[in-house]
């Protein structure tokens, strides 16, 4: 039996901008996805996904065919077709298994029993798909007697994320793999780089995480809408990207220096940028303004939403450790540490 766990992630600052080469600051969360893989009975694959109410049996060939269809849809999207998301609730796990097994003939694989449990809310911007992809892929490699090499796990996880979200930046699975706080940017050749950030613990403790509810649209749909906005007004979009970069760099500097008074301004500035690109619905904007009037700062963390009354996860900052802004009605506070360890193999 192989036991694997991977943390969720939170984008402290940089969502959407990271897709277009701007930096992002992320944190691994103390909420984890846990996968257990062991030899099955009979033939094929037994999937036990209790959080989804799914317990199924299938063949390795079915896993391979499902993965090939997902890959074909993504290749069509890359060539200009509309992004099609798989409606199968177990698609993410199936594709992660399929991508991990892609170099082996399906007929040669022994029976497998895979159980996946998650502490992460789905669709809230906590990187649940990245954590599932990383844990399933690393678990499969370890189960087959290989090493869960971070470079290989990351490469395969990116393919799974593409099937799920279209054009992910790579920040999610990179943070999930490494853990801690990570500064993500791109080098001159456009390659993503992640470097650890040492933030002052007392500042991290001044943040609260809230789940405003599931967004009305998928991450892929929101990212595609932002891309449309960029095509419609490239000059205006580039101006927003420059402001995002400035806010992210100021935010990182404040966290590293421990300057509590300097944190709120970049949080507010980045939130305004997200509102301008259209990913913060009006009801959520009103809640953010209320938190600001109460002396705090808040921003969505994740893709956000195009419509509805929710936008997934929000990050709320309080200037005063003793007087935090009131919790918005209907929002659920998520209690978890930031800067958690990354992928663990052999210790769920």
Q: Where in the chain is the domain with CATH 3.30.230.10?
A: 2-198+338-345
> CA torsion sign, 65 to 68 to 74 to 79?
negative
CA nearest neighbour of 60 among 111, 110, 106: 106
Going by pLDDT thresholds of 50, 70 and 90, the confidence category of residue 103 is: low
Does 322 have pLDDT greater than 60?
A: no
CA nearest neighbour of 86 among 163, 157, 172: 163
Beta strand ranges found along 253-321 (DSSP E): 296-300, 313-318
pLDDT tens for residues 19-73? 888 999 999 999 999 999 999 988 899 999 999 999 999 999 999 999 999 999 9
pLDDT tens for residues 89-98? 999 999 999 9
Mean pLDDT, the chain, whole residue set: 90
Contact of 257 with 26, CB cutoff 8 Å:
no
| Stretch 289-302: mean pLDDT | 90
| Stretch 283-304: mean pLDDT | 91
Going by pLDDT thresholds of 50, 70 and 90, the confidence category of residue 347 is: very low
pLDDT tens for residues 116-173? 999 987 766 788 899 999 999 999 999 988 788 888 999 999 999 999 888 777 888 9
Distance CA 77, CA 297 (A): 37
Question: At 3, which helix (H) or strand (E)?
Answer: strand 2-13
Q: Quick one: tokens of 26?
A: 């992320």
- Continuous H helices in 79-209: 91-100, 128-143, 150-165, 171-178, 201-204
Distance CA 13, CA 18 (A): 9
Contact of 160 with 133, CB cutoff 8 Å:
yes
pLDDT tens for residues 221-256? 898 899 999 999 999 999 999 999 999 999 999 999
The label of the residue with tokens 């063949």 reads: 59
CA nearest neighbour of 280 among 10, 16, 12, 9: 16
Distant-in-sequence, close-in-space partners of 322: CB < 8 Å, separation ≥ 6: none
Q: Where in the chain is the domain with CATH 3.30.70.890?
A: 201-334
| Stretch 179-183: mean pLDDT | 95
Query: Looking at the domain that runs over 201-334, which CATH code has it been given?
Result: 3.30.70.890
Q: What is the DSSP string of 46-80?
A: EEEEGGGTEEEEE-HHHHHHHHHHHHHHHHHHHTT
Q: Of 58-67, 103-112, 262-271, where does mean pLDDT reach its minimum?
A: 103-112
Distance CA 258, CA 126 (A): 25
Looking at domain 2-198+338-345, its CATH architecture is 2-Layer Sandwich (3.30)
The DSSP secondary-structure symbol of 327 reads P
The DSSP secondary-structure symbol of 338 reads B
Q: φ, ψ for residue 228 (rounded to 5)?
A: -65, -40
């Amino acid at each position: 039996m192989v036991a694997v766990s991977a943390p969720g992630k939170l984008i402290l600052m940089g969502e959407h901008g990271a897709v277009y080469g701007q930096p992002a600051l992320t944190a691994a969360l103390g909420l984890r996805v846990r996968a257990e893989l062991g030899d099955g009975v009979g033939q094929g694959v037994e999937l036990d996904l209790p959080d989804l109410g799914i317990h199924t049996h299938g063949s390795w060939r079915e896993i391979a065919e499902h993965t090939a269809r997902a890959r074909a849809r993504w290749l069509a999207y890359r060539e200009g077709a509309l992004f099609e998301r798989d409606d199968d609730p177990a698609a993410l796990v199936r594709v992660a298994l399929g991508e991990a097994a892609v170099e082996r003939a399906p007929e040669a694989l022994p029976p497998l029993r895979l159980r996946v449990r998650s502490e992460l809310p789905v669709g809230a911007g906590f990187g649940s798909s990245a954590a599932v992809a990383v844990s399933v892929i690393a678990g499969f490699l370890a189960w087959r007697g290989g090493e869960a090499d971070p470079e290989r796990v990351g490469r395969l996880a990116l393919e799974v994320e593409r099937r799920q979200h279209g054009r992910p930046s790579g920040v999610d699975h990179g943070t999930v793999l490494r853990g801690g706080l990570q500064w993500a940017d791109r080098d001159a050749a456009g390659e993503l780089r992640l470097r650890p950030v040492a933030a002052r613990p007392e500042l991290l403790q001044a943040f609260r995480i809230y789940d405003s509810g599931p967004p009305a649209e998928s991450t892929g749909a929101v990212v595609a809408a932002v891309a449309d906005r960029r095509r419609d007004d490239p000059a205006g979009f580039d101006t927003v990207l420059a402001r995002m970069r400035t806010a992210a760099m100021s935010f990182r500097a404040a966290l590293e220096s421990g300057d509590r008074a300097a944190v709120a301004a970049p949080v507010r500035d980045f939130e305004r940028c997200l509102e301008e690109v259209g990913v913060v619905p009006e009801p959520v904007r009103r809640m953010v303004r209320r938190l600001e009037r109460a002396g705090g700062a808040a921003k969505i963390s994740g893709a956000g939403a195009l419509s509805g009354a929710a936008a997934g996860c929000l990050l709320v900052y309080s200037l005063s450790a003793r007087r935090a802004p009131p919790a918005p009605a209907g929002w659920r506070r998520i209690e978890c540490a930031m800067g958690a360890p990354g992928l663990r193999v052999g210790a769920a």
